[in-house]
Chains A and B, each alone.
Chain A
Amino acid sequence: MPLVKQGRLTTDLFVHVADGAELPGDGAILVTAERFLADPEALLRRPGKLGVIWPNNRNLDDLVPYLDRLAAVALVFPSFRDGRAYSQARLLRERHGYDGELRATGQVLRDQFVFMSRAGFDAFEVKKDADADAFAETMKRYSVFYQPTGDGRVTALHRRMQLRHSESAGQ
């Protein structure tokens, strides 16, 4: 599956390790929440980066204490219709200050990219090659955003205020 990270197609350095499968000695791995929570300290001590795949129906409180030691959190879209992970993403970024890789996984399609990026995702396991190829183009679709999120984009309300102030300053 193609991975888009920081806007570019890239090789996925993380290996998905199934529950019960043996851990590779080094290198970056992604494990399930269940496996992680069974013995978080052991996994965090292991050489190599660690990422956790967090289900969209599990409270983030169990993950929050470890956030600053994780290299990646992958949130899940079991179907593109299921939008729970958008809330989780915003909470991780905006409330818990998580600044590592935030990965969208599952049914990730082109028409969600802008929403996901606004919610704080910066890595995308994209379902279709054509969608991954179109990432940069798709991200340019919108130049106007009505809602403030943690992504730092200037909102319409804010931009109007800026325009208004610059107009009055120029008079």
Chain B
Amino acid sequence: MYAYDEIDRTLVNERVEEFRDQVKRRLSGELTEDEFKMLRLQNGVYLQLHAYMFRVAIPYGTLSSQQLRRLAHVARRYDRGYGHFTTRQNIQFNWIKLAELPDALADLAEVGIHAMQTSGNNTRNVTSDQWAGVAPGEIEDPRIWAEILRQYTTLHPEFSFLPRKFKFAITASGHDRAAVKIHDIGLRLHKNAEGETGFEVLVGGGLGRTPFIGKTIKPFVAGSDLLSYVEAIMRVYNQYGRRDNIYKARIKILVHELGIEKFAHEVEEEWQQMRDGALKLDEEVVEDIRARFFYPAYEKLPHMPEELRKAAADPQFEAWRKNSTFAHKVPGYAIVTISLKPIGGPPGDATAEQMDTLADLADKYSFGEIRVGHEQNLALPHVARRDLPALWKALDKAGLATPNVNLVSDIIACPGLDYCSLANARSIPIAQELTRRFANHDTANLIGRLHINISGCINACGHHHVGHIGILGVEKNGEEFYQITIGGRADENAQMGTLIGPAVPYAEVADVIEDIVEAYLALRDRPEELFVDTVKRLGVEPFRERVYATR
């Protein structure tokens, strides 16, 4: 955990007071809706179909139990008793009242949480690997750098009115859980040939109506140069990014139109003029940030404690353990993923009671720490393996032990037409129906790792392009239709999925997905071949035939 000091706390409080003043001016009519819109967006407040939606930042997906309890409080006090975790490690509340927002923000500020820049044309919440700091084989904890970037991007005087939103993600593992290749700037910590640690910098990735995989702009940038190099990229973008067309305003379009070589050249020229300026990070400054991350005092524990040996007799526990617990860098400990995808439930939602329960369980079993992953699940990052049986019982009681992590029913979905004013089609009911179709755990296990992503419109908040199966809602003559892609992925081998054929109506989506999965089971050359690898080996044609032969 990163601990805010007085300086960080002061800034968050000052921001709350500024927003309180802005709301007051809006309510009195001093600000027009057009003027206020930008100001509320800079603080995570959208106007949705039914009410204001309030998006709260969870920097790099790390929460303390105290913070999670406070989010539960906000859900209960100011909303309808639940929250929705997003693909960018944030949480959204869907029924907030404008006049109460400043108080909700003040309550959150007391525990060091804010909503700064969770929307608007500025740098958004910096996301990272939800297993940062605990994943085996990591180069170093990427959250140190995510926090440095969080501070650097917060209320930036030059980059708060960019052509369009701007998203950073950072990973330090060989396996990319942060989807860095689909971000405006993706950062991959690695060691160069000389053994020094630094960043591969990718730029111009993104989904939406013009999806691009990020391109490497510089293979190695030293940590001390990170902020100056980032500033050079952002300055070029701020000046030359398109502002004439909202759909062409992201940095990916600028990179595409200029070409990565020319863009990289512009950035390099800018960077050379300021790389040794005030943004240079000396080791002392980095060390100061690093020193404010607290790590648990792990015990020396056995890998196979008696408690675990005994519990292995319970098939339900074993199913959950095999599915939802993962290797930890410290022997005797595990990372536990908490599925927020119960059968029949909306993906990523948690009730206030569940949040409170998880906060208590984090205190008891995970040194008071919780993580949020972009797959819209939560994680307890430091659980002693001997505690797994007790933890499982408690999670199961709270409806939080669905053993479907990374399986076909672990669906990523945007809020869709049930909430969102941009959506063309519903996402949540499609996800709910699919979880029912694949409710049988043995079947889901037999299918193996399979990521389904659903977006209710081309803005792609559900990351459908990079789902192993992607489902995109479109509108045709006033009806909801869905385009289906297969073969996408968001990891270190990120690529866009391929459309398998014409869009299908709402009522047929679940049948089509079942057909695709059945085709895969028939086509895979061995049980270990994942869906996405079968698609890679055979292409979309055999799947297309299967789906459209009878339609």
Query: A residues engaging B (CB < 8 A)?
Result: 80-84, 86-88, 90, 94-95, 109, 111, 114-116, 118-119, 130, 141-149, 155-157, 159-161, 164
Contacts and interface: CB of A to CB of B under 8 A. Distances in A.
Interface in B147-190: 151-152, 154-162
A144 B161 contact: no
A115 B154 CA distance: 12
Nearest to A84: B239
Contact of A149 (B154, B157, B284, B288): B157
B5 A141 contact: no
B100 interface: no
Interface stretch (B9-17, B323-331, B343-351, B389-397): B9-17
A164 B289 CA distance: 12
B38 interface: yes
A145 B156 CA distance: 9
Interface in B1-28: 5, 7-8, 10-11, 14, 17-18, 22
Contacts of B477: none
Nearest to B273: A95
A70 B152 CA distance: 33
Contact of A86 (B8, B11, B158): B158
Given A87-B235, A144-B7, A82 B161 contact: yes
B154 A111 contact: no
Contacts of A116: 157
Interface in B262-318: 273-274, 277-279, 284-285, 288
B121 interface: yes
B11 A148 contact: no
B243 interface: yes
Nearest to B18: A141
A94 B157 CA distance: 14
A132 to B, nearest CB: 13
Interface of B: 5, 7-8, 10-11, 14, 17-18, 22, 30, 35, 38-39, 121, 151-152, 154-162, 235, 238-239, 243, 273-274, 277-279, 284-285, 288
29 contacts: A80-B38, A81-B38, A82-B243, A83-B238, A84-B239, A87-B235, A87-B238, A95-B273, A95-B274, A111-B18, A114-B155, A115-B158, A115-B160, A116-B157, A118-B157, A119-B157, A130-B30, A142-B11, A142-B14, A142-B155, A143-B10, A144-B14, A145-B155, A147-B158, A148-B278, A156-B8, A156-B151, A157-B285, A160-B7
Given A147-B156, A156-B7, A161-B284, A109 B35 contact: yes
A87 B239 contact: yes
Most buried by B among A87, A88, A116, A147: A147
Contacts of A144: 7-8, 10-11, 14
Contacts of A130: 30
Nearest to A117: B157
A82 B241 CA distance: 11
A80 B35 contact: yes
